[in-house]
């Protein structure tokens, strides 16, 4: 412990950490667009944002997910512990599957979202955006479980796109052929592949020990040579995830540990995750608060998907009712190259978005050669995803 402290004392002066795939991405990188993801150097754009987006939608893309915070949770009470921690029913989750989940504080406000990998009822992996070890340890009081943060032990690579299955099979991982969405399989003793991703497309995530990163990368790169494989950065992924309607913590909602101001922390019902709350569970952290908010109509916000007239992206724009009353904000927006529309994810103050759904306007400012153009564009509430692809769920998957 002492040594660790010494080592980390000057960590703010040190450069960002490098993931096990850093060298590979660095080799592809032409522009130098790096950003800080949980203390790791991660690519925003590797070569060209649009080509990278179309790799997701037309061929195969490789995205480094090693900076994901990963916890390994084991022990006889693991399932009970996770049922207390998270709002979904872990008992109903089948072995070797992945479930998207959320956990809340006492007030029912969302602490984070993440993916829960179930090996069996005494062994899970939880992947998320932020670090939560103190919360997990305090939540585990009374449960016989062991929680290990394995972020820096396990590397991750996301391969997404119509040819992603073909690349994996080419690379020798034939057993992924049988995977349905949200299922996972160990293709070797060390390598775990799940049919998951953040794109709404056919895609897989690969988890492996750091030491295998070079071998796996080379294997995939070679297998994908003729299948249009491309290393991508977050910007391209971000477009794909907005098209699918996926949310990102501290971008589309503020996690309760980060929220400073009143009203900023949000309940699952306020970020579009009502479907996830399992009220039939005997108990979970925050259940009473969520129930009370529902019974007393205390929820103040609603999360919606918007289609907006015109083609200018509406990032961060204010939403008006009848062009004059502020009723919400856009948290993520893009021009969707696949839907060919300006799309957005937004938070509206109730009753707008629920009882009052029409006459919504978005105020967009566009800077063109040092002059602002201000426009009021009409917005329509639609059902996400904006882009729905049948290949996402097809089993066995597309081979080409």
Find the shortest distance in angstroms from Cβ 286 to other proteins: 7
Query: What does the block give as tokens for 322?
Result: 């009848």
CB contact set of 83 (below 8 Å; sequence gap of 6+): 89, 90, 91, 281, 284
Q: How many residues bind other proteins (CB under 8 A)?
A: 18
Is residue 351 within the footprint of other proteins (CB under 8 A)?
no
**How many angstroms separate the first and last alpha carbons of the chain?**
51
Q: Which of 100/135 has CB closer to other proteins? A: 135
Which tokens sit at 325? 């009353």
Pick the binder of other proteins from 41, 57, 70, 84 (CB under 8 A): 84
Least Cβ distance, residue 130 to other proteins (angstroms): 16
Considering only CA atoms, which of 181, 230, 188 is closest in space to residue 205? 181
Binders of other proteins among 289-308, rule CB under 8 A?
Answer: 291
Q: Which residues contact 283 (CB under 8 A, 6 or more apart)?
A: 84
**For other proteins, which is the closer residue by CB, 21 or 81?**
81
Strand, helix or coil for residue 197:
coil
Choosing from 4, 10, 262, 282, the residue that interacts with other proteins (CB under 8 A) is: 282
* Binds other proteins by CB under 8 A, chosen from 133, 153, 288, 376: 288
Q: Closer CB to other proteins, residue 258 or residue 378?
A: 258
Token readout for 378 is 């009409």
In angstroms, what is the minimal distance from the CB of 141 to other proteins?
Answer: 4
Any contact of residue 267 with other proteins (CB under 8 A)? no
Question: Residue 285, interface with other proteins (CB under 8 A)?
Answer: yes
In the three-class reduction of DSSP (H, G, I as helix; E, B as strand; rest coil), residue 185 is classed as: strand
Q: How far apart are CA 395 and CA 372, in angstroms?
A: 49
Alpha-carbon dihedral sign for residues 275, 264, 285, 120: positive
Which one of 284-292, 322-330, 359-367, 392-400 is the stretch in contact with other proteins (CB under 8 A)? 284-292
Cα separation, 250 vs 255, in Å, equals 6
- Edge to edge, the sheet with strand 110-120 lists 97-104, 110-120, 123-128, 69-74, 146-149
If we measure between CA atoms, which residue out of 4, 257, 253, 266 comes closest to residue 130? 257
Residue 106 as a binder of other proteins (CB under 8 A): the answer is: yes
Query: Does residue 80 belong to the site contacting other proteins (CB under 8 A)?
Result: yes
Q: Tokens for 81?
A: 């512990």
Question: Binders of other proteins among 140-199, rule CB under 8 A?
Answer: 141-143
Name the segment binding other proteins (CB under 8 A); options: 13-21, 103-111, 187-195, 226-234: 103-111
Nearest distance from C-beta of residue 86 to other proteins, angstroms: 12
Residues contributing to the site for other proteins (CB under 8 A): 80, 84, 105-107, 135, 138-139, 141-143, 282-283, 285-288, 291
């Amino acid at each position: 412990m002492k040594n660790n402290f010494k080592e980390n004392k000057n960590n703010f002066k040190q450069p960002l950490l490098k993931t096990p795939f850093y060298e590979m991405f660095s080799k592809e990188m032409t522009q130098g667009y790096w950003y800080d993801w949980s203390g790791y150097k991660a690519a925003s754009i590797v070569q060209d944002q649009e080509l990278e987006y179309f790799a997701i939608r037309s061929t195969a893309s490789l995205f480094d997910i090693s900076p994901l915070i990963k916890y390994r949770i084991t022990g006889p009470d693991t399932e009970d512990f996770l049922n207390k921690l998270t709002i979904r029913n872990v008992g109903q989750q089948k072995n070797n599957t992945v479930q998207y989940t959320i956990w809340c504080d006492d007030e029912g406000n969302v602490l984070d979202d993440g993916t829960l990998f179930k090996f069996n009822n005494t062994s899970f992996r939880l992947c998320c955006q932020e670090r939560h070890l103190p919360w997990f340890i305090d939540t585990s009081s009374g449960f016989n479980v062991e929680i290990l943060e394995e972020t820096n032990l396990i590397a991750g690579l996301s391969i997404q796109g119509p040819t992603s299955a073909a690349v994996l099979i080419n690379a020798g991982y034939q057993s992924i052929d049988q995977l349905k969405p949200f299922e996972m399989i160990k293709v070797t003793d060390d390598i775990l592949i799940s049919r998951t991703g953040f794109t709404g497309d056919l895609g897989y995530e690969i988890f492996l020990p750091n030491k295998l990163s070079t071998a796996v990368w080379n294997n995939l790169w070679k297998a994908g040579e003729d299948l249009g494989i491309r290393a991508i950065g977050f910007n391209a992924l971000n477009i794909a995830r907005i098209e699918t309607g996926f949310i990102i913590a501290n971008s589309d909602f503020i996690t309760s540990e980060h929220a400073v101001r009143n009203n900023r922390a949000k309940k699952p019902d306020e970020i579009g995750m009502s479907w996830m709350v399992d009220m039939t569970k005997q108990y979970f952290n925050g259940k009473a608060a969520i129930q009370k908010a529902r019974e007393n109509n205390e929820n103040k916000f609603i999360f919606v998907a918007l289609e907006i007239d015109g083609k200018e992206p509406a990032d961060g724009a204010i939403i008006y009712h009848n062009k004059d009353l502020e009723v919400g904000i856009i948290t993520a927006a893009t021009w969707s190259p696949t839907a060919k529309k300006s799309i957005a994810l937004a938070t509206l103050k109730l009753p707008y978005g629920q009882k009052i759904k029409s006459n919504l306007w978005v105020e967009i400012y566009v800077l063109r050669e040092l002059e602002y153009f201000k426009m009021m564009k009409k917005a329509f509430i639609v059902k996400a995803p904006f882009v729905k692809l049948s290949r996402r769920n097809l089993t066995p998957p597309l081979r080409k």
